[in-house]
Structure 1
């Protein structure tokens, strides 16, 4: 369920003052509507620069997401916006990220963004998984796998993002080709089998209008996709069909229905293929 968004102006004055120790007096504050996890999400600027701020109260149920993003940020060079500063004061945990130019990725069939996302996922596959606390993919999927033995396909030692929502992909058309995409929102970073992010991407591609075959063709652009048998991919599709069915049942809306339908269609394609 989405976290209720509040404006930067509703923070305690001490928290705002702590932010301005890093930024200088703020000249502009543009509240951001995208995203589900943050109470504070805004693009701010001052005489010295521009930042994207994400924040939660330290007693919030999802406060761990701020800690996770802060812990993993130093290891994400060329994959994500850099974390410039962190403020923990007056009951708030605030992260100040490099403000990137760009737009959300377009996943539609034929989109020029698709090769850029594939290139980013290849870079991610080559990035060492840091020795920090991360959940394991098989733990996250254990309640959704069709068979307990399926979990072996999901285990591994690679760094995963796991939330390939196109809103988490920023594309800057002015950057060099092949290096235009960046991944944001690393709260659900996970340790697991290298091919899983390509699998998560498949579901979002189907939701954006691809056939399962077309979506799998894009996943095949990621070398790690070829490291698991079809049995493992089918097990992953089954687990995600169960996961999205549960999400849609708990919070039915057009967005969750679209993902549940996509995950189910992929699983049916594999099961019947």
Structure 2
């Protein structure tokens, strides 16, 4: 379920003061419309710079997501916005990230963003997994695997993002260095098989209008996809079909319904292979 969003102006004064120790007095605060995990999500500016601020109360059930993002940030050079500061005070945990330019990736067929996202996932697949506490893919998918033995396909030692929602990918044609796409929101980072993020991308591509065959062709642009056994891909599609049908039944919003339809479509396609 989505976390209820509140405005930065509702922070305790001590927390707001602690933020402004890093930023200086805030001139503008633009609340973010996207994202489901944070109580605070805003782009803020002062005379000294611009930041994206994410925050949760320290007693929030998902407070661990803040700690995970903070722990991961130093290892995500060229993949994600840099973490500039962190504030833990007055019952709040607040992260101040580099504010990225650009737009949310367009996943629809023919989009010029698709090669940029493929390049981003190639960079991610080449990034060493840091020795920090992360959930394991085979455990996350345990309840949804069609057969207990299927979990072996999901296990591995690679760093995964696992939430390839196009709103989590920012593409900036003017980014320095040629790396135009970045991934935000690493709350669900996981350790697992190298090819799984390409598989998660397949789901979102189908949800954006691709056929399963077209989505899988894009996945082939990521070398790790070629390490996936055919039966492993089929098992992954089946597990996500079960997962998203459960989610969409409990929370029948348009976007969960769209993902349920996409995973059902992929699952049916894989059964025919």
Task: Work out whether the TM-score is over 0.5.
Answer: yes
The unaligned stretches of length 5 or more in structure 1 are: none
Q: 2:190 matched to which residue of 1?
A: 190
Secondary structure of the 1:29 match is: strand
The unaligned stretches of length 5 or more in structure 2 are: none
Deviations 1:89-139 (A, max 9, x none): 000000000000011000000000000000000000000000000000000
Q: 1:249 matched to which residue of 2?
A: 249
Stretch of structure 1 that moved more, 74-83 or 168-177: 168-177
The TM-score, its normalising length taken from structure 1, stands at: 0.99
CA distance in 2, matches of 1:29, 1:90: 20
Q: Which runs of 4+ in 1 moved over 2 A?
A: 175-178
The TM-score, its normalising length taken from structure 2, stands at: 0.99
Q: 1:145 matched to which residue of 2?
A: 145
Contact 1:15 1:92 in 2 (8 A): yes
- The Cα of 1:177 is off from its aligned counterpart by 8.4
Q: 1:107 matched to which residue of 2?
A: 107
**Which residues in structure 2 correspond to 1:160-171 (within 5 Å)?**
160-171=160-171
**Which residues in structure 2 correspond to 1:199-214 (within 5 Å)?**
199-214=199-214
Deviations 1:147-171 (A, max 9, x none): 0110010000000000000000000
Q: 2:117 matched to which residue of 1?
A: 117
- Quick check: 1:132 aligned with 2:132? yes
Q: 1:91 matched to which residue of 2?
A: 91
**Which residues in structure 2 correspond to 1:36-47 (within 5 Å)?**
36-47=36-47
Structural RMSD (CA): 0.9
CA distance in 2, matches of 1:85, 1:131: 22
Relative to 1, partners in 2 of residues 1:177 and 1:18: Cα closer, same or farther, differing over 3 Å? Answer: closer
Contact 1:116 1:177 in 2 (8 A): no
CA distance in 2, matches of 1:24, 1:175: 26
CA distance in 1, matches of 2:129, 2:120: 16
Q: 2:25 matched to which residue of 1?
A: 25
- The Cα of 1:175 is off from its aligned counterpart by 2.4
CA distance in 1, matches of 2:205, 2:161: 16
CA distance in 1, matches of 2:175, 2:78: 12
- The Cα of 1:229 is off from its aligned counterpart by 1.2
